[in-house]
Chains A and B, each alone.
Chain A
Amino acid sequence: MNEVRFGQAINKALADAMTADPSVIVLGEDVARPGGPFGVTRGLLDRFGPERVRDTPISEAAIVGASVGAAMTGLRPVVEIMFMDFVTLTMDALVNQAAKARFMFGGQLSVPMVVRMPHGGGINAGPQHSQCLEAWLAHVPGLKVVCPATVADAYGLTRAAIADDDPVIVVENKALYAAKGDLPDTAAATPIGRARTARAGRDATIVSYGAMVPVALAAAADLGRDGVDAEVIDLRSLQPWDEPAVLASLARTHRLVIAHEAVEAFGVGAEIAARMSDVGFDELDGPIVRVGAPFMPPPFAKTLEDWFRPDAAKIVAAVKRTMA
């Protein structure tokens, strides 16, 4: 067991995958010689050489498009998009090419590629460097989307994404890169599509993912002091998401709050709420309450960003509302 940072766990996952499979390559802006804008790919160039670890020009559309062609021709590319906000420039390659190729060509092939992209605020990076756009991608049939919250899952979901035969988006919250946690020497892949119970509880379920999981745990601790025993479910995968696990938790607690950093409207929480109000209707003893950012671009100034990002107090208030 080693204590490592979240970013280092991803680095180890990349290195282990590259060691295990020569068809895995890593490419992106500043990922090779500089070691990545957030240092996640540090050392890979030295270990695996310039053929497999490539600094690319600032050409998001071409590098993701090229990853589709490379995946069709026997490689397993792992691309880094420096900020998730830049996914806008890759949308044709992701949505019209990668996501559809298998279906559209009658199941002739798979497109095994991974696109890593940091999302989220907390570093005052402003409206074009802080967004959480994962709902866009989760809305596209053919794409998978995962979002780790812990060091173990940063490793495990990255390994699973690379091993997966379909295009997988790994959403990494910037605020988590420096977080520390234990990574077993024999760390394993985390199966895509399976949630984790981050805290067991009987009174209310808080479903969350990514950097909101520790916030939800803090909210649960606060609620505990008020005698409310909240369960926290870490989704880990957003597409597919673990509907049975969420339903099972709801069936125990009968109250549901969904919390994410992305804007609340039309988000991942909306999908979960809609499904639970259908398949979980009989279990509900209160309204399903969502906690998300207000419907606006992420602001820059510290006071504004702090207000914009959901915090534990908002989750506590949401749980109290569904229990009222």
Chain B
Amino acid sequence: MSSDRDSILSRVRSALAPLPERAALPDWERELVIMRNARGAVDAVALFSERLVLVNGTPLTSAADLVALLEKNGWRRGYCDPALWPGLQAAFPATFTVETLFDRSRVDDYQFGITAAAGGIAETGTVILTDGGTSRRLAALAPWVHVAVLSRRTIFVDVPEAVAALGSDPNIIWCTGPSKTADVEGILIEGVHGPGIQVALLVD
């Protein structure tokens, strides 16, 4: 293996040796990638909700609204991050079965998964999950409904701002709307492997 390393690096070096000069790394202004209609937008929370709807996600502002959505569709079994459950429990009637342990051997038993988001991106309607902040990767992915509990104070305006704040978490995932495919004849189908419903529950 190490011989492969050396031979690759030596081939690369000799391929580049004849170049009289090397292309410089350009700098670029953040302005360049800010979408026209997001320029100067100050209300990141409003923009976030608007954009989340555009990618077929569901912004909600209260636990009661969440319960109503789940009720309406008959989604009464799910998982909730143990750290979030005390704050939400009161809104859930006894007809719900909510577990705070996620058992991967019963992955299809969970119709919804409630986990914490580490942040959001307004211009794209994205929720940000991290290993440090999200209790279970699977609970945010396998159930039909994913509810990301998102603090209004952690919403970045745009992609460059969110990139700048990536930090050192070993695994960060940006989720922009429900899982989707257009592989079959270009027809949009949501809920391929991940959630078919992506909710952001906005809290203070």
Q: Do A and B come from one complex?
A: no
- Identify the A interface with B (CB < 8 A): none
